Structure 1
């Protein structure tokens, strides 16, 4: 097995671009492993652990292409990666080359009206860049992760003093003035504003609002640690106040995993005085602890969007509890007919962390305790993340799986491999998964999976249930992905919550079979 690498001194590109290039060259025939990363100590360790090079002469400002595989394939991969790195969208159209922008100060000189900096540098350096941006009077979106909680708090306190917002760290999604940032979707402009401590949670709610015919004024991410006791919800409180003062926003939505009681109370007090209807989804929280004048609790991501649109249109609030119609239950029974009583297990494989979290809650509410690499309260920590045990719901976007690898929304290869393994387990009754569309995501997320599903023995395969998070205007077009999956025999739910509920019902059908057989 050959290993080759190439180092570019003082060449920086953001992590999303590098993950996309890594995903592209990893799929070349003859390539076993590939990594296109900045030369940070962490990345150098990962390259070494993968057997692709020891003591590479690269520093944090240097870009590394490392590949492993057949010799000719490695040469081709290096060439392709370098071409992608050097490609320019408008190359050859300008007679003179604009000077390289090497600082935020230079960027502001060229675009003096800019008031938002998107930071996507290695975590060790992200805090310093965020402070620079704040001191220049800019708001900040930090795509970077691996920023300490102490640094995050210091940055957000500075932002509060400057009357600015810091979205992040590890903020992967936002929509600002109609412009999708990070892993965002193409949604209509409208009058519903969202503040979310969850990227895929924000995507699910904004996409469903779009599907219901309404639109988004602003969608702000906060990063997953913002509502912790230590941070205190600084960014969510700022975003909530900004939307309360925004004339183009008529309804506000807040999304987060359950914060501490003290942080929740501060947020709910401000929401109650916002002067606009506020829908709050603290995933898994008791609605009675959230409901109050002007504040409506939601229990699912889909239900959050449904309530927001009803409030916007002055319509009666819909019932958002999960249930199946007689036709839907009959469909699930029909799809389960071929399964023997030995097929008992729910297996979920997710690209979206919040989708995995919500699915665990719903399965748990329907009597199924599961194992996970990211378990909710009451579920079990998976002893070996590479080996499912009992009912298992996996977040493939967690750091355990993405360290040195592209996120599954960018490159679904590892996620698809895990899906196929769960399908082949003779005890699996139902496999539950998501497909997340939008900017930055895989151009054809269903294609590779369908190629592998074509080789599955459908007579003995478990029931497949999927949820496609996206819109018709996304580059991947939601209806096209849904049609392709349905043709392969996959049941498509309208939301992640419905998909998890249906999976629970299939498992209940199988439990009844086992009871009868015994």
Structure 2
């Protein structure tokens, strides 16, 4: 196999675009491996680990674009390069709308005076600088970039707070502003429920459940995952609560987050008394007593959060399909599993989805391992090998260093899925398939060959393998949700109706002899 290296000096593309292009580049015929990335130290580290880092690549600057092609035997790397370069042209050609390009935020603002929001996705080394420029131009900011220091984040959020602006992020992956999804998001009905989320897929999950229950979303404001840390102190969530409380189109506010720092949780809950509107609080693993004492509406799960929110808007519970657990199905699956098939393996693209499903399993089983476990005794020491019940957040930095996020390219979990499927002690494999703006164009299709292969292997070994799939999306999303679900059902996958039900079904399927 031969390797071709191309360095394009001073050629910048944002990380989302490059992850998408890199994914498509690796699907080109005769490609063994293709890496399309900016020449950051992190990306050079990935090349070093793959034994692909040359002196030429080592000397490339942060603003240089690297294209590294390793073709299969007999491949024409020059032809492969031509096809990769065509991917850039295809992306830039876009649709029929007019697209202007500006060299700086200042020039863009001067030409589009009415603009009031900047979405920033640049290398982390420059992200704080660009976000500050946007705030100084009186622009709200959604900062998709990660690898921004927590000190920079604090300074940016303090500046935004003083100026009365929203500073969403860094590492903010989801927002819906005036019914427009930004970065990752789902097509949901416009309505009167405002969501503030320190977690991307958790916010998406609440938004689609609200849509499913007949409600609608006024605004979805992301805060970034560290906002509720001790250092940041919940600045963005507190500011967003005040903004939505004044918003005439918002009737109910929902807060969603992974477990926050305790002192910050208390600060956020104390702010509920300043709100004139009902506030539903879903902090995964949170304390009901604290929320109720603060005057909020406690939700243990994302499904419960969405339900309480829509009921508070006046929708009647009898008019909602609550998707109750299918106990006959649970008993049927239990009967199919052999005594040794006692473990769940969760392989998730969404971090909060993984967290919620894991916490629901922890209510029933003590031996729950993960790469994101808060209990260090249950944190996986070797990410390549699962222990008993294991839940993996495949979008965590542990798995995405130098690779596309699985919401953009879910094929990264195929090998791990087949590994788990071969384990005779595994009874259930649970997975999410995330639809919507920014996500992979066919997340189910990518996994189907592996699902059929796993089912065939289990049949040959005369055992049942229960594959549980949850499709996060709405009837308005692309790709078509109904078709995605149908493909999974045709492959013998059991469908869950929500993130919450995925956790409940998973834990009940392997509960031997545990009657309802």
Same fold per superposition (TM over 0.5): yes
Q: Give the aligned partner of residue 481 of structure 2.
A: 478
Q: 2 CA distance for matches of 1:339 and 1:67?
A: 45
Q: 2 CA distance for matches of 1:154 and 1:340?
A: 56
Q: Structure 1 residues 346-355 or 470-479, which shifts more?
A: 470-479
Q: Give the aligned partner of residue 370 of structure 2.
A: 372
The residue correspondences of 1:119-198 to structure 2 (distance < 5 A) are 119-198=120-199
Deviation at 1:495, TM superposition (A): 0.9
> What SS class does the counterpart of residue 468 from structure 1 fall into?
strand
> What SS class does the counterpart of residue 291 from structure 1 fall into?
helix
Q: Check whether the contact 2:191–2:217 (CA below 8 A) recurs between aligned residues.
A: yes
Q: Does the C-alpha gap of structure 1 residues 378 and 123 become closer, same or farther in structure 2, counting only changes over 3 Å?
A: closer
Q: Give the aligned partner of residue 77 of structure 1.
A: 80
Q: Check whether the contact 2:269–2:294 (CA below 8 A) recurs between aligned residues.
A: no
> What SS class does the counterpart of residue 336 from structure 2 fall into?
coil
Deviation at 1:386, TM superposition (A): 1.0
Q: Does the C-alpha gap of structure 1 residues 65 and 511 become closer, same or farther in structure 2, counting only changes over 3 Å?
A: farther
Q: Give the aligned partner of residue 41 of structure 2.
A: 41
The residue correspondences of 1:98-109 to structure 2 (distance < 5 A) are 100-109=101-110
Q: 2 CA distance for matches of 1:29 and 1:273?
A: 59
Q: Give the aligned partner of residue 400 of structure 2.
A: 402
Q: Give the aligned partner of residue 448 of structure 2.
A: 450
Q: Give the aligned partner of residue 240 of structure 2.
A: 239
Deviation at 1:368, TM superposition (A): 4.3
Q: Give the aligned partner of residue 515 of structure 1.
A: none
Q: Does the C-alpha gap of structure 1 residues 247 and 139 become closer, same or farther in structure 2, counting only changes over 3 Å?
A: same
Q: 2 CA distance for matches of 1:285 and 1:92?
A: 45
TM-score, length of structure 2 as denominator length: 0.93
Q: How many residues align?
A: 507
Deviation at 1:474, TM superposition (A): 1.1
Q: Give the aligned partner of residue 330 of structure 2.
A: 332
The residue correspondences of 1:349-498 to structure 2 (distance < 5 A) are 349-377=347-375, 380-456=378-454, 457=456, 458-459=458-459, 460-498=463-501
> What SS class does the counterpart of residue 52 from structure 1 fall into?
coil
Q: Structure 1 residues 417-426 or 248-257, which shifts more?
A: 417-426
Q: Give the aligned partner of residue 516 of structure 1.
A: none
1:367-416 Cα offsets, whole Å, 9 max, x none, are: 24211111134860111101111111111111111111111111111212
> What SS class does the counterpart of residue 196 from structure 2 fall into?
strand
Q: Check whether the contact 2:367–2:388 (CA below 8 A) recurs between aligned residues.
A: no
1:152-199 Cα offsets, whole Å, 9 max, x none, are: 111111111111111111001101111100111111111100100000
Q: 1 CA distance for matches of 2:131 and 2:417?
A: 38
Q: 1 CA distance for matches of 2:310 and 2:258?
A: 22
Runs of 4+ in 1 over 4 A off after TM superposition: 88-94, 97-100, 314-323
Deviation at 1:19, TM superposition (A): 0.5
Instruction: Check if 1:63 corresponds to 2:61.
Output: no
Q: Check whether the contact 1:307–1:318 (CA below 8 A) recurs between aligned residues.
A: no
Q: Give the aligned partner of residue 208 of structure 1.
A: 209
1:272-306 Cα offsets, whole Å, 9 max, x none, are: 32111110011101211111465101000111111
Q: Check whether the contact 1:370–1:391 (CA below 8 A) recurs between aligned residues.
A: yes
Q: Check whether the contact 2:270–2:294 (CA below 8 A) recurs between aligned residues.
A: no
Q: Does the C-alpha gap of structure 1 residues 432 and 88 become closer, same or farther in structure 2, counting only changes over 3 Å?
A: closer
Q: Structure 1 residues 312-321 or 124-133, which shifts more?
A: 312-321
* Uncovered stretches (5+) of structure 1, i.e. residues with no partner: 513-518
Q: Does the C-alpha gap of structure 1 residues 157 and 304 become closer, same or farther in structure 2, counting only changes over 3 Å?
A: same
Deviation at 1:221, TM superposition (A): 0.5
Q: Check whether the contact 1:372–1:379 (CA below 8 A) recurs between aligned residues.
A: no
* Uncovered stretches (5+) of structure 2, i.e. residues with no partner: none
Q: Give the aligned partner of residue 307 of structure 1.
A: 308
Which of the numbers 489, 506, 509 marks the counterpart of 1:506?
509
Q: 1 CA distance for matches of 2:297 and 2:4?
A: 57
Q: Structure 1 residues 79-88 or 250-259, which shifts more?
A: 79-88
Q: Check whether the contact 1:20–1:406 (CA below 8 A) recurs between aligned residues.
A: yes
Q: 2 CA distance for matches of 1:99 and 1:143?
A: 21
Deviation at 1:311, TM superposition (A): 0.5
Which of the numbers 343, 346, 349 marks the counterpart of 1:348?
346
TM-score, length of structure 1 as denominator length: 0.93
Q: Check whether the contact 1:436–1:469 (CA below 8 A) recurs between aligned residues.
A: yes
Q: Give the aligned partner of residue 12 of structure 1.
A: 12
Q: Does the C-alpha gap of structure 1 residues 379 and 113 become closer, same or farther in structure 2, counting only changes over 3 Å?
A: farther
> What SS class does the counterpart of residue 6 from structure 1 fall into?
strand
Task: Quote the RMSD (CA, aligned, Å).
Answer: 2.4
Q: Give the aligned partner of residue 28 of structure 1.
A: 28
Q: Check whether the contact 2:242–2:275 (CA below 8 A) recurs between aligned residues.
A: yes
Deviation at 1:261, TM superposition (A): 2.9
1:191-233 Cα offsets, whole Å, 9 max, x none, are: 1001000000000000111111211111010011101111000
Q: Check whether the contact 1:5–1:78 (CA below 8 A) recurs between aligned residues.
A: no
Q: Does the C-alpha gap of structure 1 residues 381 and 317 become closer, same or farther in structure 2, counting only changes over 3 Å?
A: farther
Q: 2 CA distance for matches of 1:496 and 1:339?
A: 23
